């Protein structure tokens, strides 16, 4: 609850944290220490890293001495470190920064469209506002060093070139977008450097909860750092350009610059893609001019996905950009055998998506790639976790194989041919590329502003005509009725996310008609006559991933990332797209503060009752249980919804419903005088398995459990192996892990011994004992494989034998039918949506008489695909997605879908939460049969 409104508190904090005030009257103070003087080494020196806390200290000191630099602390990160925004411009511009900010905000139509006079003033005197975010992925650490060098240069260099930049650009930069991880990686590196375990991977995720997936949170803003970035982007500064700096694998090109490869997204204005190419190409040219080779574009990363840093800017009419520089082994050099240039063109290299990027992308999976590389995407070499991967060689004694992508071509004019590559090279490439971006933004300031204005104006005009995007169907806005939702609280959750992304959301003051339907007063309305309409549309509509083929005969190229996000579907919220123009007389009220969660509840004399309909119900239940209340569930009513009956002290109830708005609803107070109680809810004792090496699926689950107020205990291999688990736990959760990683873990010799291996035979036996003694094992996605293969279960995994040509779903929203009479299905919608990523799907098998095998959720007999990309739809039809097995006393719940994927899948969270309650239930027969 407390993190829901992060973006607004951030905004309020802005004026309070100006650390560096103007100290020097003109120019630059002579006493400004260089980074080398301050840190004691030149940034980029082999095996030396500037730690984030020292970077903060240096930048604050610099800001105190320079009238070109300001530093603001936007608030604490997840682990309590300062999240810094540095603002750099000419002294004159900084003195009038609020004025230039107001021009930039007006460019993005904040507070209404600019008048003609305001527009002309923006073109004449507005600045190019450029945001550069660094080091989001913590092992990709070079940019946290490079940015310090660049800031120092801008603060002290009196050349005409720097003056031009400072006069024309307001440069905003976040030195590390994940400060906690920067510190973690620096300390880890210092621990292992120059030891035999120098390439031992980090034992934990480098973002405390979500690891590498901190680059997949830019529409949910679940993590503090994402919300802080959203605050800069869509509530404070509205930068026109946003570059996010990353590192890729070590063995191919040296730097990726924009543009990215196909497919493009139909909702993005073409001018935005064009500006990516203008700015990206200017970066490439600057690198060429310095004789830096290995500059590539139009590969690997497609131009489609909405949830990544930088990328998200496109739908906000911001020029979102990416650089990916080849990695060293953190700060240790990489050595690679040398190749000879090949002048014969090869199909693989020329195909754009090929080359070093190869196949096997689909970082959407990203999760549970085994204990060793859980934090890194599936594809080695693409935005990988460098150095931390371990076992890939690259030392002087064991150099990497020579590069294979060695044919010069338009996208890759001067291929990298191998040799030594250092942190210093990364810093050099990044300083050059970032400086070039600023220089071009300065040179083309007015054209950039004019084009952004045009895109913003066009967006609103097209929204007015219902013509946004490139589909044939007209769409004028989105209507989100509240009271008609299965779980009205989720409609509010959805609105909260939209507001976080800067979308203007309104409430209808009165009942109204649209497309022949009647909508109640209080319906949320998102008109497309707004500057961020492209974002709202893309976020809420169903995705149809474009079919891009290298040749007409070849298979379509699968997405780089997940293929669907449709947030309404994922939240289980009905979102109606207006097919005709919204009534101009419609009385609307802007929603500026996210409303409370609606809750159908009533006091029925002896206590309270409320409709048990979704994830927020679990939050309420957990708060009540912690307050000592008794909570029972009735059998579902005719609509499939159980009622929760609460006996609690009034103060416990009052505290528990904080954030909820009580209203009489369909299920409120409808409990019969002597209701048929199905089950008593108890707080489950939860163990959450955490593999060494970091596992994002575990991290997201951990975040969710905390967010919804479930207590849990983290279990490492030794804790599982110690046995006697049933004495401590009702449920043990196994996050998704590939193959046999649960059992074997990462066995590479480079891994420090204490982090090597999985739960092993002892741990496996302990899990079997746990189940035999009545414990509940809950497995997600890939982890269901181990249970199915090693246990006699009345379930078969149908995915196991299918090739990628037969069946492939790289992050797809699917239709689900839920058995809401089963304990695990209680309160869910009967027809809903799940998130599926190439994991098992099941059929049940006869002949296991000791087991009661129940299909909790299945795919429909008709179309499975709800949004995104799915090859082999028919193979899943009618099959099981979630299976619950009661072995009396033990239980096993197999989630073939990801019920908690990236914390986005609110519609299926109840299935996970119910499974936890089921584990604590003892012998009560809940179905009441």
Rule CB under 5 A: which residues touch Zn ion? 137, 140, 246, 383
Segment (H or E) for 303: strand 302-303
Q: What is the smallest separation between the CB atom of 423 and Zn ion, expressed in angstroms?
A: 16
Q: What is the smallest separation between the CB atom of 384 and Zn ion, expressed in angstroms?
A: 8
How many Å apart are CA 798 and CA 877, to the nearest integer? 12
Tokens 């040219």 -> residue? 285
CB 634 within 8 A of CB 627: no
Using the minimum distance from each CB to Zn ion, give the nearer residue, 246 or 756. 246
Q: What is the smallest separation between the CB atom of 366 and Zn ion, expressed in angstroms?
A: 11
**Cα-atom radius of gyration of the chain, to the nearest Å?**
28
How many Å apart are CA 104 and CA 129, to the nearest integer? 7
Tell me if residue 284 falls in helix, strand or coil.
Answer: helix
Using the minimum distance from each CB to Zn ion, give the nearer residue, 87 or 383. 383
Using the minimum distance from each CB to Zn ion, give the nearer residue, 320 or 757. 320
Using the minimum distance from each CB to Zn ion, give the nearer residue, 137 or 632. 137
Using the minimum distance from each CB to Zn ion, give the nearer residue, 133 or 914. 133
Using the minimum distance from each CB to Zn ion, give the nearer residue, 320 or 469. 320
Q: What is the smallest separation between the CB atom of 383 and Zn ion, expressed in angstroms?
A: 4
CB 406 within 8 A of CB 419: no
Using the minimum distance from each CB to Zn ion, give the nearer residue, 366 or 693. 366
Q: What is the smallest separation between the CB atom of 239 and Zn ion, expressed in angstroms?
A: 20
CA distances from 600 to 662, 790, 914 (A): 6, 45, 20
Using the minimum distance from each CB to Zn ion, give the nearer residue, 139 or 820. 139
3-state SS, 110-151, equals CCCCCCHHHHHHHHHHCCEEEEEEECCCCCCCHHHHHHHHHH
> Closest by alpha carbon to 167, among 209, 110, 107, 127?
127
Q: What is the smallest separation between the CB atom of 327 and Zn ion, expressed in angstroms?
A: 9
CB 810 within 8 A of CB 838: yes
Using the minimum distance from each CB to Zn ion, give the nearer residue, 140 or 719. 140
How many Å apart are CA 418 and CA 336, to the nearest integer? 5
Using the minimum distance from each CB to Zn ion, give the nearer residue, 310 or 665. 310
Count Cβ atoms below 10 Å from residue 622 Cβ, excluding itself.
23
Read off φ and ψ for residue 852, nearest 5 degrees.
Answer: -100, 105
Q: What is the smallest separation between the CB atom of 591 and Zn ion, expressed in angstroms?
A: 34
267 class by beta-carbon count within 10 Å (0-12 exposed, 13-18 middle, 19+ buried): buried
> Closest by alpha carbon to 526, among 498, 501, 500?
498
Using the minimum distance from each CB to Zn ion, give the nearer residue, 225 or 504. 225
Using the minimum distance from each CB to Zn ion, give the nearer residue, 324 or 493. 324
CA distances from 47 to 192, 384, 424 (A): 11, 20, 10
Q: What is the smallest separation between the CB atom of 636 and Zn ion, expressed in angstroms?
A: 45
Using the minimum distance from each CB to Zn ion, give the nearer residue, 246 or 902. 246
Segment (H or E) for 812: strand 810-818
Q: What is the smallest separation between the CB atom of 426 and Zn ion, expressed in angstroms?
A: 13
Q: What is the smallest separation between the CB atom of 246 and Zn ion, expressed in angstroms?
A: 3
Q: Which two tokens stand for residue 334?
A: 């990489």
How many Å apart are CA 705 and CA 711, to the nearest integer? 7
Cis amide bond preceding 27, omega within 30:
no
How many Å apart are CA 180 and CA 82, to the nearest integer? 9
Q: What is the smallest separation between the CB atom of 248 and Zn ion, expressed in angstroms?
A: 8
Tokens 């020329």 -> residue? 350
Residues 6+ apart with CB under 8 A from 767: 720, 725, 732, 759, 777
CB 862 within 8 A of CB 877: yes
Terminal CA-to-CA distance of the chain, rounded, Å? 37
Using the minimum distance from each CB to Zn ion, give the nearer residue, 246 or 879. 246
Angle, helices 445-465/533-540, rounded to nearest 10 degrees: 60
Using the minimum distance from each CB to Zn ion, give the nearer residue, 260 or 870. 260
Q: What is the smallest separation between the CB atom of 375 and Zn ion, expressed in angstroms?
A: 10
Q: What is the smallest separation between the CB atom of 440 and Zn ion, expressed in angstroms?
A: 23
Using the minimum distance from each CB to Zn ion, give the nearer residue, 32 or 177. 177
Q: What is the smallest separation between the CB atom of 3 and Zn ion, expressed in angstroms?
A: 24
Segment (H or E) for 910: helix 909-919
> Closest by alpha carbon to 176, among 228, 216, 248?
228
Residues 6+ apart with CB under 8 A from 104: 126, 127, 129, 170, 237, 238, 239, 240
Using the minimum distance from each CB to Zn ion, give the nearer residue, 376 or 826. 376
> Closest by alpha carbon to 776, among 855, 890, 913?
890
Q: What is the smallest separation between the CB atom of 434 and Zn ion, expressed in angstroms?
A: 16
Q: What is the smallest separation between the CB atom of 538 and Zn ion, expressed in angstroms?
A: 22
Bridge partners, 264 (sequence order): 303
Residues 6+ apart with CB under 8 A from 149: 35, 43, 44, 427, 431
Q: What is the smallest separation between the CB atom of 149 and Zn ion, expressed in angstroms?
A: 20
Using the minimum distance from each CB to Zn ion, give the nearer residue, 383 or 819. 383
Evaluate the CA torsion angle 803, 805, 807, 811 in order and state its sign: positive
Count Cβ atoms below 10 Å from residue 467 Cβ, excluding itself.
15
Q: What is the smallest separation between the CB atom of 222 and Zn ion, expressed in angstroms?
A: 19
Residue 612 has what DSSP assignment?
A: -
Read off φ and ψ for residue 779, nearest 5 degrees.
Answer: -120, 140
Tell me if residue 548 falls in helix, strand or coil.
Answer: coil
């Amino acid at each position: 609850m407390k993190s829901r409104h992060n973006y607004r508190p951030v905004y309020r904090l802005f004026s309070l944290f100006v650390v560096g005030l103007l100290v020097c009257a003109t120019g630059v103070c002579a006493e400004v220490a260089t980074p080398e003087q301050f840190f004691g080494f030149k940034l980029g020196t082999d095996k030396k890293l500037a730690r984030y806390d020292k970077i903060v200290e240096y930048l604050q000191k610099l800001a105190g001495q320079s009238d070109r630099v300001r530093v603001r602390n936007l608030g604490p990160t997840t682990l309590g470190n300062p999240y810094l925004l540095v603002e750099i411009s000419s002294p004159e511009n900084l003195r009038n920064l609020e004025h230039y900010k107001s021009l930039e905000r007006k460019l993005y139509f904040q507070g209404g469209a600019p008048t003609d006079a305001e527009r002309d003033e923006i073109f004449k005197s507005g600045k190019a506002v450029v945001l550069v975010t660094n080091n989001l992925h913590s092992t990709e650490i070079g940019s946290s060093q490079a940015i310090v060098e660049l800031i120092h240069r801008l603060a002290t260099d009196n050349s005409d070139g720097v003056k031009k930049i400072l006069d024309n650009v307001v440069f905003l930069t976040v030195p590390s977008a994940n400060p906690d991880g920067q510190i973690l990686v620096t300390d880890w590196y210092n621990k292992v450097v120059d030891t035999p375990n120098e390439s031992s991977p980090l034992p934990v995720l480098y973002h405390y909860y979500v690891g590498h997936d901190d680059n997949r949170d830019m529409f949910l803003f679940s993590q503090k750092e994402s919300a802080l970035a959203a605050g800069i982007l869509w509530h404070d500064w509205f930068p026109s350009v946003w570059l996010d700096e990353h590192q890729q694998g070590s063995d191919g090109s040296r730097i990726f610059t924009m543009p990215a490869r196909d497919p493009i997204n139909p909702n993005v204005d073409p001018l935005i893609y064009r500006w990516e190419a203008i700015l990206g190409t200017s970066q490439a040219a600057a690198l060429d001019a310095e004789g830096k080779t290995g500059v590539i574009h139009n590969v690997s990363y497609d131009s489609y996905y909405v949830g990544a840093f930088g990328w998200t800017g496109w739908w906000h009419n911001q020029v979102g950009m990416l650089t990916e520089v080849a990695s060293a082994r953190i700060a240790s050099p990489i050595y690679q055998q040398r190749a000879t240039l090949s002048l014969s063109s090869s199909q693989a290299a020329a195909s754009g998506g090929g080359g070093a990027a190869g196949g096997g992308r689909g970082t959407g999976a990203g999760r549970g790639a085994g204990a060793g590389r859980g934090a890194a995407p599936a594809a080695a070499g693409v935005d990988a976790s460098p150095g931390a991967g371990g076992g890939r060689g690259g030392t002087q004694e064991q150099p990497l194989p020579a590069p294979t992508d060695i044919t010069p071509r338009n996208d890759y004019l001067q291929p990298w041919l191998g040799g030594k590559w250092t942190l210093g090279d990364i810093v050099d490439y990044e300083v050059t590329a970032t400086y070039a971006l600023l220089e071009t933004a300065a040179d083309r300031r007015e054209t950039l502003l004019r084009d952004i204005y045009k895109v913003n104006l066009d967006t609103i005009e097209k929204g007015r005509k219902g013509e946004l995007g490139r589909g044939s169907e007209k769409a004028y806005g989105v209507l989100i009725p509240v009271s008609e939702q299965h779980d009205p609280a989720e409609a509010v959750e959805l609105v909260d996310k939209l507001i976080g992304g800067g979308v203007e959301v309104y409430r209808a003051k009165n009942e109204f008609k649209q497309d022949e339907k009647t909508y109640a007063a209080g319906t949320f309305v998102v008109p497309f006559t707004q500057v961020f309409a492209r974002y709202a549309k893309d976020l809420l509509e169903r995705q149809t991933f474009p079919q891009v083929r290298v040749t007409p005969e070849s298979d379509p190229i699968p997405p780089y990332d997940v293929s669907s996000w449709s947030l309404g579907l994922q939240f289980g919220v009905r979102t109606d797209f207006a097919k005709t123009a919204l009534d101009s007389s419609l009385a609307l009220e802007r929603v500026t503060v996210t409303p409370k969660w609606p809750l159908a509840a009533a006091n029925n004399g002896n206590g309270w009752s409320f409709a048990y309909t979704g994830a927020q119900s679990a939050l309420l239940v957990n708060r009540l249980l912690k307050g000592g209340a008794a909570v029972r569930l009735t059998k579902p009513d005719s609509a499939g919804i159980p009622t929760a009956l609460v006996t609690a002290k009034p103060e416990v109830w009052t505290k528990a419903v904080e954030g909820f708005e009580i209203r009489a609803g369909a299920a409120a107070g409808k409990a019969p005088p002597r209701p048929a109680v199905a089950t008593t809810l108890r707080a489950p004792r939860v163990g959450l398995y955490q593999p060494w090496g970091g596992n994002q699926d575990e991290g997201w689950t951990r975040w969710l459990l905390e967010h919804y107020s479930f207590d849990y205990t983290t279990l490492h291999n030794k804790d599982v192996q110690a046995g006697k688990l049933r004495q401590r736990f009702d449920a043990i959760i196994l996050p998704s892990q590939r193959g046999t990683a649960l059992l074997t873990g990462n066995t590479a010799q480079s891994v420090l011994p204490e982090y090597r291996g999985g739960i092993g035979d002892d741990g496996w036996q302990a899990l079997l004992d746990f189940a035999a003694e009545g414990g509940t094992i809950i497995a997600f996605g890939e982890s269901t494989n181990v249970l199915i293969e090693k246990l006699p279960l009345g379930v078969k995994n149908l995915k196991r034998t299918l090739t990628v040509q037969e069946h492939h779903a790289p992050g797809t929203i699917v239709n689900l039918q839920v058995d809401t009479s089963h304990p695990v299905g209680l309160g869910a919608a009967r027809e809903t949506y799940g998130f599926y990523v190439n994991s098992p799907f099941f059929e049940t098998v006869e002949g296991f008489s000791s087991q009661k095998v129940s299909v909790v959720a299945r795919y429909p007999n008709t179309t499975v695909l709800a949004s995104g990309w799915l090859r082999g739809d028919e193979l899943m039809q009618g099959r099981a997605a979630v299976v619950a097995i009661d072995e009396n006393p033990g239980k096993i719940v197999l989630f073939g879908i990801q019920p908690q994927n990236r914390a986005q899948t609110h519609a299926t969270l109840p299935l996970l939460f119910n499974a936890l309650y089921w584990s604590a239930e003892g012998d009560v027969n809940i179905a009441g049969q």
